[in-house]
Amino acid sequence: MEIYTEEEERTMKKVLFLTTGGTLSCEASEDGLIPKLQGAEILAQVPELNTLAKISVQDLCLIDSSNLEPEYWSRWAEVIGDNYNDYDGFVLSHGTDTMAYTSSALTHMLINLGKPVVLTGAQVPLSLSNTDARSNLQLAFTIAVSGLPGVFVAFGNKVIKGDCAKKIFSKNFNAFESVNETPVLFFSKSGMKKNLPDRQIVGGFRVENKMEAKVMAITVTPGLKPAIIDFAVEKGYKGIVLELYGAGGINTEKNDFLPAIRRALKKGVKIVCVSQCLFDGVDLSLYPMGILAAQAGVESGAGMTLEAALTKLMWILANR
Ligand code: ASP
C-alpha cells in the first residue's frame, strides 16, 4: 500500500531509519528486557513519524548496546556513506548505554558531513505505556529533516553534538548531558534555546571508517599500580586514555606513573588524558604532576569526554 501521495513523494524529505536495538526496541521477558522490535514494527507503532518524512528502514542489528563492538561503527558509517546521496538525513536508533561512544565514533568517521545523522533511543521501551521512545523518535526525525549538518544525539529535552554527549542518568528521561558545549537545542519551561553549530564544510563528504580496537581507558584511583600500563602494552594495546583526577592529577610519588608512561610511549603507544570530572576538562599546565605528564608525552584531551577521546584515538591510530 502506498502511504504517500504523488505530491508528498516529490516534496517530502527522505530519511533513512537505521535500527540497532537498545531499550527502545525491547520487550519484557522472564530474563529481563530483550531487544525485539525491528524498524518496520517501530514505525507501525509510531505512525506519526511518516508525516515528518518519507522513511525507509534498514535494520543493522538487534542488540543491547552493551554488546557493541568497534567494528559495528565501521559498518554503520559505510551504510551511511553508501546511502548518503539518496537521503536528506539519517536516524539511528541505539541503546543509551553506549550511544555516546557511537555518536563520537561517527563524528570522527563521517568527514565533511553535510546532512543530519541523529541518534536516539529510550529509557523505557516503546512497548510500554510510559515510554519516552515516541517523543525521542519525533525529535530525532524532526532534526533529521532540518538540514542541520552533523552527528547529533536527540534525547529527552536536548539535542547534543555527537562528540559532546554523555549519559548521566540511568533512568531519568533526560539521560544525556552536553559536556563542555551548550546543547544545540534545549527545551525547558521557558521555551527552546538554540546554539546551532556554525560549521564550515570544506571539501566533499567522505567516510574514513577504520578503527583500532586495541585502545583502552584506565581510570586512575588511589592505590592503582603503574604496572597496569605495562600490562596494557604487553597485551598489545596501541592507545590508552588515562582518566585523571580533576584538572589532570596523577600519582607521581609512591605509585609514580611517569616511568611506566615513558616506557609505553617509547614503544609507540599513544596516551591521551581526560578528566574524571564531568565539566571543564584537563589543564596539564596547572599542577606539577600534570606538567610532568605532559613533558613525558601524555597528550591533553582538554574538554573531551572519555567517549570522544577513546573513539578519536581509535580512529587516529587506524586512519592517520
Ligand atoms: N541496556 C540498554 C542499551 O544500551 C539501555 C538503553 O537502551 O537505554 O542497549
Q: 123 by DSSP, 3-state: which?
A: coil
Distance between CA atoms of residues 193 and 204, nearest Å? 31
What radius of gyration do the chain's Cα atoms show? Answer: 21
- For the whole prediction, is pTM greater than 0.95? yes
Distance between CA atoms of residues 235 and 16, nearest Å? 40
Going by C-alpha positions, the residue among 207, 163, 191 that lies closest to residue 309 is 163
Q: Verify whether residue 107 is a known catalytic residue.
A: no
pLDDT at 201: 73
Mutate to test the pocket of ligand 1, among 19, 93, 97, 167 (most ligand atoms within 8 A of CB): 97
235 Cβ neighbours under 8 A, 6+ residues apart: none
pLDDT at position 296 over 90 = yes
**Contact between 155 and 121 (Cβ < 8 Å):** yes
Share of the chain above pLDDT 70, in %: 99
What does DSSP assign to residue 13? Answer: P
242 Cα to the center of ligand 1, angstroms: 25
Instruction: Tell which atom from ligand 1 comes closest to the C-alpha of 21.
Output: 9
β-strand partners of 166: 177
Burial class (CB in 10 A: 0-12, 13-18, 19+), 66: exposed
Burial class (CB in 10 A: 0-12, 13-18, 19+), 210: middle
CA angle in degrees (0–180, nearest 5) for 155-158-163: 80
Mutate to test the pocket of ligand 1, among 64, 93, 98 (most ligand atoms within 8 A of CB): 64
**Contact between 107 and 163 (Cβ < 8 Å):** yes
10 Å Cβ neighbour count for 117? Answer: 26
Phi then psi for 210, rounded to 5 degrees?
A: -75, 150
Helices (H) and strands (E) in the chain, counts: 9, 18
pLDDT in tens, 241-269: 999 999 999 999 999 999 999 999 999 99
pLDDT in tens, 2-16: 667 777 777 899 999
Instruction: Tell which atom from ligand 1 comes closest to the C-alpha of 123.
Output: 8
34 Cα to the center of ligand 1, angstroms: 10
Phi then psi for 195, rounded to 5 degrees?
A: -145, 65
36 Cα to the center of ligand 1, angstroms: 13
Q: Enumerate residues lining ligand 1, CB below 6 A.
A: 22-23, 64-66, 95-97, 121, 123
The two beta strands, 165-167 and 176-178, are antiparallel
Task: Give the residue whose CA is nearest to atom 7 of ligand 1.
Answer: 95
Task: Give the residue whose CA is nearest to atom 3 of ligand 1.
Answer: 95
Instruction: Tell which atom from ligand 1 comes closest to the C-alpha of 64.
Output: 9
CA angle in degrees (0–180, nearest 5) for 277-280-284: 90
3 Cβ neighbours under 8 A, 6+ residues apart: 50
Instruction: Tell which atom from ligand 1 comes closest to the C-alpha of 98.
Output: 4
Task: Give the residue whose CA is nearest to atom 8 of ligand 1.
Answer: 96
pLDDT at 1: 54
pLDDT in tens, 23-81: 999 999 999 999 999 999 999 999 999 999 999 999 999 999 999 999 999 999 999 99
Q: Which amino acid is at 245?
A: Y
pLDDT in tens, 165-187: 999 999 999 999 999 999 999 99
Distance between CA atoms of residues 278 and 236, nearest Å? 29
Choose the catalytic residue: 23, 98, 131, 305.
23
β-strand partners of 55: 15
**Contact between 217 and 241 (Cβ < 8 Å):** yes
237 Cα to the center of ligand 1, angstroms: 27
